[in-house]
Amino acid sequence: MMERPFREITQEEIAAFHTDGIVFLKGFFNMDWVEKLREQAEIDLASPGRLHQELTQGENGGRFFFDTFLWTFNEGFKEFVMSSPAAEIAGQMMKADKINVFFDQLLIKEPGTSERTPWHQDLPYWPVDGEQVCTLWLALDPVDAETGAVEYVKGSHLWGQGYKPPAFAGDDKYKLPLPPVPDIEAQRDDLDIAQFEFEPGDCTIHHGKLVHGAPGNARADLRRRAYVTRWAGDDAIYTPDPEKQEMMWDPEIEAGGPLDSDLWPIIWQRS
């Protein structure tokens, strides 16, 4: 049985998501979920999946850890994807009639991790296109600017331009013929940039075309564990391309068609 959100998503929150491309939701995941996810995160850190990446460069210290498609091999993450309120939250926010899970991800910055998450949009990394693609970024620790809270350029999902994905590891592995992400740091004063303070169980939802990035975790004593789920709605189509991020397996579906498959099952439908 899928758990419903503890309160309805308001029209104001939905409107903010569509205008700004980002919305912060307080307390939508209780400590039972947070503790279950923390336990599964430790299991994955100790024995990561096939697509995991260690993103800490050289002797910088800390650990920036990334793993994807956890729900496909870990029953705890599968339970979250299938029965937490996350899919419905994504569906209500995107005004979708159905929601497929696209993938889930751990993004962990251990104490003293200096690596930034580069400014980027999500969609250009992925073999999917559409307006109804979003991410739910769920904090498993208290998170703020000092420990690596993500910054979001409000309204940038409406700029009408896809940018070349910068590899999180700093190399140039994505060869897509797109212009580079604009120099956000140089334009800070002219942009409306949002950043939030999270308690464990708070989350953001951001649009797949929104430009965002994150500082490192400057604290020596606090972890920044985030469990992220990516969701797609009715208008999402499959756009395979060998230059894009590797998926867990080939979904064996038609290019240009809906995502429905064993890799991207439908999790929620509007009743």
Ligand X SMILES: O=C(O)CCC(=O)C(=O)O
Q: Which residues bind ligand X (CB under 6 A)?
A: 107, 117, 122, 135, 137, 148, 150, 212, 214, 226, 228
CB of 24 to ligand X, least distance (A): 14
Name residues whose C-beta falls within 8 Å of residue 49's C-beta, 6 or more positions apart in sequence: 67, 68, 69, 70, 73, 74
> For ligand X, which is the closer residue by CB, 110 or 260?
110
CB of 117 to ligand X, least distance (A): 3
CB of 148 to ligand X, least distance (A): 6
Residue in 153, 148, 160, 141 with CA at minimum distance from that of residue 62: 148
169-196: b (≥16 Cβ within 10 Å) or e? eeeeebeeeeeebbebeeeeeeeebbbb
CB of 131 to ligand X, least distance (A): 17
> For ligand X, which is the closer residue by CB, 10 or 53?
53
CB of 225 to ligand X, least distance (A): 10
> For ligand X, which is the closer residue by CB, 9 or 134?
134
Going 70 to 113 to 146 to 187, the CA torsion angle's sign is negative
Strand partners, 161: none
CB of 270 to ligand X, least distance (A): 25
> For ligand X, which is the closer residue by CB, 145 or 255?
145
> For ligand X, which is the closer residue by CB, 214 or 267?
214
Q: Regarding beta strands 133-139 and 203-207, do their DSSP bridges make them parallel or antiparallel, or are they unpaired? A: antiparallel
Is there a contact between 231 and 136 (Cβ–Cβ < 8 Å)?
yes
Q: What angle do CA 9, 11, 15 make, to 5 degrees?
A: 110
SS3 16: helix
CB of 213 to ligand X, least distance (A): 7
> For ligand X, which is the closer residue by CB, 219 or 253?
219
> For ligand X, which is the closer residue by CB, 88 or 122?
122
CA–CA distance, 184 with 7 (Å, rounded to integer): 35
Is there a contact between 18 and 37 (Cβ–Cβ < 8 Å)?
no
CB of 135 to ligand X, least distance (A): 5
Going 25 to 94 to 34 to 229, the CA torsion angle's sign is negative
> For ligand X, which is the closer residue by CB, 87 or 214?
214
Is there a contact between 69 and 249 (Cβ–Cβ < 8 Å)?
no
